Structures are given as structure tokens and as C-alpha cells.
Structure 1
């Protein structure tokens, strides 16, 4: 009962924020109601994670599945929603006129609502619909700036992602077809019924279904080579939206891949499914390594970093076992925190220097010492360096691959992570410590010529940084138990 109530509140809070924003059309009321909704959802999802291990089951007439995987992703979404809502208070006031803010917050809360719905869908078809809804709502947020670049990015995002997940729909149809050979022409297709019948179904249909589902949801996750929408969408949307796209949406789409992987394992396709997922993870790391070193735009740099880290998550689930699943889940959380911090820093740099062009951002510590220090610490963390959370999850991923008998992928992953570490931090070296100021924006350096950052912009960075550091020094024991349940596929 407690889990059902918590989930109902999780959905109801952003829904209420949407209604208030659209009904009152008041900028300040909209932003504060959205913030309250975000904090409420954070509290309820923490409760869900704390209680789900003892009471994970299908609810609401079998349409909702609050299992450990779903609740974990809901928590990651709620964390980013809360951080982004705090950051949006100052950022959106500086970037957008008040008349448009109610529409923004209605869309923002609606985006969060769709991501709270999708992970808990117990039927593959409804999960697909929910993922498509996240696309439809977030497209308007990507294009919210109404510039030529943001409009192009929004259309590209809509077309590429919708085309991609159409493949996932076709794969779902193949799986339903396979299930009819066991259950008859009509049956209640849930993740559990598919898993129970997988070993007795036609292997060709199951194989085709898995590959299509993987390609479809990998497009949404941003795994290479289906990642082409991601750099444009993440860089052109308002900064709070960029944080939600990277830290929340990608995890939400990964749920479909993980549930599909479980069904493929049940169908005795583990060798194929895990090898393909590992290959996509390595391709994503390779593409990210090659393109990170060539970036000029700070937000595009963060976007390609998302391709990298979703590749690491894919590798964790691909390696499998207790270590692999635990590493992937822990990486989801740490990436959500770290990427929120990084996009907030990029947004602050954009406010201070009037551009996200890294050639125009110079000597940030002089202009904004606290923001500059936090952004630099986040840059060290996002490359997987100690003592931050991503170091722990990446090291555990490497360990999972080694223990699981994947030495070649582990070696490739390690080399690519080193390349990304060097390339990523070189950009920050130039922004922070370069003596060459030829490309710096006129008047960019000097506090008298720069707007003061809103306090909430820096507060949000602190709130992302502190747990990121804590999770690098301390892996809470209750999370071990939760990840073990996820690795087993339920409660």
C-alpha cells in the first residue's frame, strides 16, 4: 500500500504543477510550484527505493511494475528533476522573459511526468508509448529557444528518435508473435509473461525482436552509432533541459534495453545479446573519445560525454553478473549527479561570457571562483578520476568485465577512458589556465563586466557535487542489496 501511495504522489505532483502553470499563467507561481513538485517526487521515490525490496509486484490492475530496477531509475529521474528545478529558478529568469515561463514549467513538469511513467510500465507496449511521450514533450523543450539552431535540433531529435524507436515497436510485435506460439493468439503481454515463455518460443523471432528493440531503445539512449541527435538536442535546449535529457531521460530509455536483455537471456540468447550490447558500449566510447577532443562548444562537450557514459552503462549490463549490474546501476546515479553539475557549470559559463564557445571562456576562477572550482571538480569527476563516484562505478565495471571473462573489451575500455580523460581535461586547462587570451570575448574577464550568477545556480552545483563526492568515498550497504535484487531480475 505504501508503495502504491508513493507512486501515485510521484505522478500527481508534476501533474499538479502542469495544471497550476497552465491555469494561472503566473511566472513566479509556476516556478515555485514546479520546485515543490520536484522535491515531493524526490521524497516519494526515496521511499519507494527503501520499501520496494520487500514488496515488489505488479499494481494498478497489472499495468504498473514497481520492481527494484524501476524504482532505482525513478530515483535517478527525481534527483535530476529536483536539481534542475532549483537551477532553473535563476537560469530561466535570466534567459527567458516572464511571459514564457509558465509554458516552460508546464512542459518541464510534463517531461518529468513522462519519465516517471515509463520505467514502471509492466507491458512492453505501454513502455514504448511512454518513451514516445517523453520524445514528444521534450521536443518542445529542445526548441524552446526558438532560434534556427534550436528548431533544427528539435526536428532532428524528433525525427531520428521516433524513427529509432519505431524499430523497438517492430521488435515488440515480433515478441508478441513469438508469444502466441505458447499462449495462443491472444495473451496478456507483460515483461514477466514474455520471460516465462521465452525459452519455448521461436528463436528466430526472439532474436529479431531483441535486435530491433536494442537498436530502437539504443537510439533513445544515445549509444553510437545511433547517437546523432544527442549532441544537437543537448546543446541547444535550455540548460535545465539539457540536464534532464542527459541525467534522466537516457536512464529511462536504458530500462527497455535491460528488460529486453533479461528476456533474451531467458530465451537462451545470452551470448548474442551480451556481445552486441558490449559492442555498442565500446563503439560509443570510441566515438566519444574521437569527438570529445575536437569540441569547441561546452554543452556539446557534455553531450558527447553522455555518449561515453551510456556506453559504460551498456558495458556494465553487457558484462552482467552481480558486479556488472551493480556497476551499471551505480554509474546511472553518479552520472545523473555529475552530468547535472557539468551542464549547470556550462550554463553558468554561458551566462557569464555570453557564449558556450570554449575559446571565448577564459579564466573562469577569476570571474566566478566558487562556480569555477565546482565545475573543474566536476570535470575531474566526469573523466572517472578518484575520489568521485564515477571512479568507483567505472572501476567496478572493469572488474566485472575481467571477472566475467571479457579481457579484450576491458583493455579497450581502459585505453579509451584514458584518452577521454586527457582530451576532456585539456579543454578545461585551456579555459582555466591558458595564457593565450586572443580568442577570449572582449570584456569577458573582469567581474565588473560580468553579471552576477543567481545563488540558486551555484546552490544546485553544490547539491550535485556533495553526494557525488560522498558516493566516491562510501558505497552505501543498502545499495548493494538493491543492486543484487536488480541483478536477479526482481525481488
Structure 2
């Protein structure tokens, strides 16, 4: 099933590329559903039976992998459904031609395949390859419109992320050197199943140097400040379903890589270096995001800086550590994916309806687009941590863990800036939702059913997980946190 999870989206993308328009949509839809069902099937198997290794240890799926796979499955299904309405609208208005639509569906599914590969591959070197592949494939989606700003965003995305990933490659090579010195030359010395052994002691100096490079490299792909400069441009210029994937899925795949290397480093170092790096970069990301959100005029860029904030919150939680801190970080990853993907998709509807991304030119959103307007407002309340939505639960757990683990100052700074960011986002969104009608008249109604109905899926998770979490889901989070604390996956 792990191999199928990678192959099915590749085949789907290739078939969609060579098919006529209407058949292309059906192939896209069928392939997306199949990919999501396979991913959720793998999650169910891990939840029921524990970690799985297959194909001569090429694939390894544990609770950490399962959480990312679940995010990929749910968000990709939502964005796949939304993509049909989005692409139809862009074609109808002459913003995309048939060739661009074919390219969209091809690279969309290749993008899904690379992210699934990152989640299921065992070898840490190939994990790096997978993360680099996500950059190359998704750059074509960012540049889809082939206009000045889109091309500039794609170029910046490629240059900055590739530079960061080059640092990460150096870190992987140094880790490999340390592993070979301890275990001898073998094609398995970089396998997660080998390096995850808590009793494996590598060379501390090499491991320290390795993780610093990896923190900078993968931290660039995660969007942690000050390596985040590519993120607002790429998220704002990409088609909205792609923005949802970038924010909701891709960054979590990069965070998974950072987590895995961090666990390996912690087994050897047993000091506070890793903790300080996560907390330092995390707090800086939250602090940097606030002023840019406050003065923002583009609502997609505002959401992009909100993503920088949330990646920072997750990093702080990982730095706080402990069973509660790790569980809260993983829960925050999932919750943010649901809330932010919903926001980017609804932002895409707003952009298509009002023909602008400028906040001052969007008015009376709740009256003109009642369903999208409600979803956008609920999503904003959710990602800013307002109860009773899901992110409030995970952020509250992070605060509790911070004070329990003795990080009162860092936690207090985090709370303060989260409150400021709430005020900044609500300042903009309330004007968009309730503001008086401007000079331009906009007809009332949603873009299409394909654009509106898919928003229900992430909305259910945003609301439901704030009120109740199924035991199977909490157990999966617990098993993943056990891996982070150095235990074995149950």
C-alpha cells in the first residue's frame, strides 16, 4: 500500500495530462479519491497494528508518518474537489488555457506523490531527496499563471528553498559520516529504523554540526524566520488549492524531516541545543509575523504570514518538549492544516468573486458570499486560537506544557504575540466581512458548488475537534509523541 500511495498520484497526473478536458476532471477526481483512501488505509493500519516496514525496509510508516499521511489524505481530497471549480472558473475567464490546465493537474498529482513519499520513505537521505522534489514540482504550480509576479515568486521559491536544502544536504552527509564511523559502511546506515535506536551514540561534534545545518536547511522549507522570505510570495501567487497544499501539507512534511533528524540528534547529544534552536527559531517566527500581518493589504499574504506564525508555534512546542508538549505540537500540525487549508480555499473563492486580493477592495463578504463568508470568518477565528475551535485546544495544551516544563518566559512571549496577531487578523477580516459596500458592485452568490461544498470537510474538523477528539485519534497522537520522547512506537 505504501508503494501504491506513491504510484497512484503519479499515474493520475500523467493520465490527466494526456486526456481531454472533461475526462481529465474525472481522472483527477478518481485518482484523488483513490490516493486519499490508500493514505487513510495506511493510517488505519498503523493505528491498529503499529509501525510497518516493507519492500526490504525501503518504506517505513510509524505514528509520525501516519499523522502526516492523514493530513495529506484529507487536505489533498479537499483541494482536489475544489480544484475542479477553481480551474473551470479560471478557464471561463481566460486566465488559464487548456495547456495550463493540463500542466496544473499533472504537477498537482506529482506534488501529492512527492509529499506522500516524504512521509513513507525509511532512508533519511531519500527523505531529503523527497523534500527537494516537492520544491521542484510545486514551483511549476506557483508559476502556473506565467505572469511577472508569479514567475518572480516561483524563482524566489526555487532559489531560497534550494539554497536551504543544500545546507540540509550537508547536514545529512555529516550525519552519514558519523553513522558510518559507528556502524560501518552499509546502505542502511541512514535508515530511520536504524538511527531511531535510543541507545545509538554517534559522534557528538559531528551530530551537533549536522543538526545545525539541517535546522537551517529544513527550517527554510518549513518557513521559520528569518528563512521565510519565499513563503508569502509563493503562497500568495500560487492557485488557491496549491496555496492550501503548500501551507497545510508541504510545510508539515518538511517539519516531519526536521523532527526525525532532531530525534536522532537528541539521542546522541542529550543537551539543550536542540531545545534552544526550536524555541529560538519558533519565537522569532511568531514575532516577525505580527508586524507584516498588521500592515498587510493582500489577504492571501496575510494568511501566508499566519502560516509562518503557526510553524513557529509548532517549533516552540517541540522545543518545550515533554509528553504534553510533543502531543500538543503534533495536534497543532493537524489542526493548523485543517484551518489554514479551509482559509486558503475560501480566500480563492473571494479572489475569484471580487477579482482582487486587496483587503480594502473586499466588502460585505457575509452578504455577497454567505457560505464562503461564514467559512472565512470561522476559519480566521479558528487559526487565531478562539474557542471552541480546534486550534484553541492545541494552543492551550502548548501553553500548559510550557509552564509545566519551566519555560515561563518563552510561553509568556508566545501568548502575548498570539494575542496581538489575533487582533491584527480580526481587524482586517471584520472589515472584509462587515464593511460597507464599495464603489464597485459585485453580484451576490457563490462561485460554484465545486468551490463551496469542499469547504465543508475541513470545517467539520475545525469545529468537531474543538469539542471532541476520538480516542483512536488521541491514541495515534500519543504513539507519535512516544517516538519523540525516545520510546518505541506501540
Superposition TM-score, scaled by structure 1 size: 0.94
- Post-superposition offset of 1:41: 2.2
Q: Look up the match of 2:362.
A: 361
Matches within 5 A, 1:29-428: 29-53=23-47, 54-95=49-90, 96-186=96-186, 188-189=188-189, 190-196=191-197, 200-428=201-429
- 2:221–2:254 CA contact under 8 A, matched in 1: yes
Indicate whether 1:443 and 2:440 are aligned.
Answer: yes
Please tell me the root mean square deviation across aligned C-alpha atoms, in Å: 1.6
Q: Is the 8 A contact 2:42 2:66 kept in 1?
A: yes
Q: Distance in 2 between matches of 1:105 and 1:196?
A: 41
> Structure 1 CA distance, aligned partners of 2:193 and 2:15?
38
Counterpart-to-counterpart distance in 1, 2:293 and 2:231: 14
Shift of residue 262 of structure 1?
0.7
Query: Residue deviations 1:259-316, cap 9 Å, x none?
Result: 0111121013441101110111111110111211111001101100110111111122
Moved more, 455-464 or 159-168: 455-464
Distance 2:346 2:269 in 1: 46
SS in 2 for 1:355: coil
SS in 2 for 1:267: helix
Gaps spanning 5+ residues in structure 2: where? 91-95, 484-488
Superposition deviation, residue 446 in structure 1? 4.5
Between 1:139-148 and 1:8-17, the stretch displaced more is 8-17
1:186 Cα deviation after fit: 4.6
Please state how far the C-alpha of 1:129 moved relative to its aligned partner: 0.5
Question: Retained in 1: the 8 A contact 2:446–2:452?
Answer: no
Task: Kindly state the Cα deviation for residue 187 of structure 1 after the two structures are TM-superposed.
Answer: 5.5
Task: Tell me if structure 1 keeps the 8 A contact 2:366–2:434.
Answer: no
Q: For residues 365-424 of structure 1, what are the alpha-carbon distances to aligned partners after superposition, in whole Å with 9 as ceiling and x for unaligned? A: 121111111111111111010111111111111111122221111111110110010000
The number of equivalent residue pairs is 478
**Residue in 1 aligned with 2:11?**
16
Partner of 1:443, secondary structure, is coil
Please report how far the alpha carbon of residue 346 of structure 1 lies from its aligned counterpart in structure 2 after TM superposition: 1.1
Change (3 A) 1:180 1:469: same
For the 8 Å contact 1:118–1:252, the answer to whether it is kept is yes
Q: In 2, distance between residues paired with 1:217 and 1:112?
A: 19
Q: Deviations over 1:417-460 (max 9, x none)?
A: 1001000000012212234x6xx4x424443xxx7511111112
Normalised by the length of structure 2, the TM-score is 0.94
Distance across 2 between alignment mates of 1:158 and 1:486:
31
Distance 2:402 2:281 in 1: 15
Q: For the residues of structure 2 that align with 1:351 and 1:9, how far apart are their CA atoms?
A: 35
Distance in 1 between residues matched to 2:187 and 2:38, nearest whole Å = 33
CA separation in 2, counterparts of 1:187 and 1:378?
46
Paired residue for 2:93? none
Deviation at 1:487, TM superposition (A): 1.6
Give the drift of 1:185: 4.5
Q: Is the Cα–Cα contact under 8 Å of residues 208 and 269 in structure 2 kept in the other structure?
A: no
- Equivalent position SS for 2:269: coil
Do the aligned partners of 1:207 and 1:269 also contact (CA within 8 Å) in 2? no
Q: CA deviation at 1:198?
A: 7.4
2: CA distance, partners of 1:185 / 1:116 = 28
CA distance in 1, matches of 2:13, 2:477: 33
How many angstroms apart in 2 are the aligned matches of 1:331 and 1:55?
22
Which residue of structure 2 aligns with residue 460 of structure 1? 454
Partner SS, residue 58 of structure 1:
strand
Shift of 1:337: 1.1
Gaps of at least 5 residues in structure 1 are none
8 Å contact from structure 1 (residues 198, 263) kept in 2: no
Distance change >3 Å, CA 445–CA 212, structure 1 → 2: same
Larger mean Cα displacement after TM superposition, 191-200 or 382-391: 191-200
| Partners of 2:171 and 2:211 within 8 A in 1 | yes
Change (3 A) 1:92 1:52: same
Structure 1 residue 99, shift from structure 2 partner: 4.1
In structure 2, C-alpha distance between the alignment counterparts of 1:124 and 1:73, rounded to whole Å: 16
Alpha-carbon deviation of 1:317? Answer: 1.6
**Displacement after TM superposition at 1:59 (Å):** 1.5
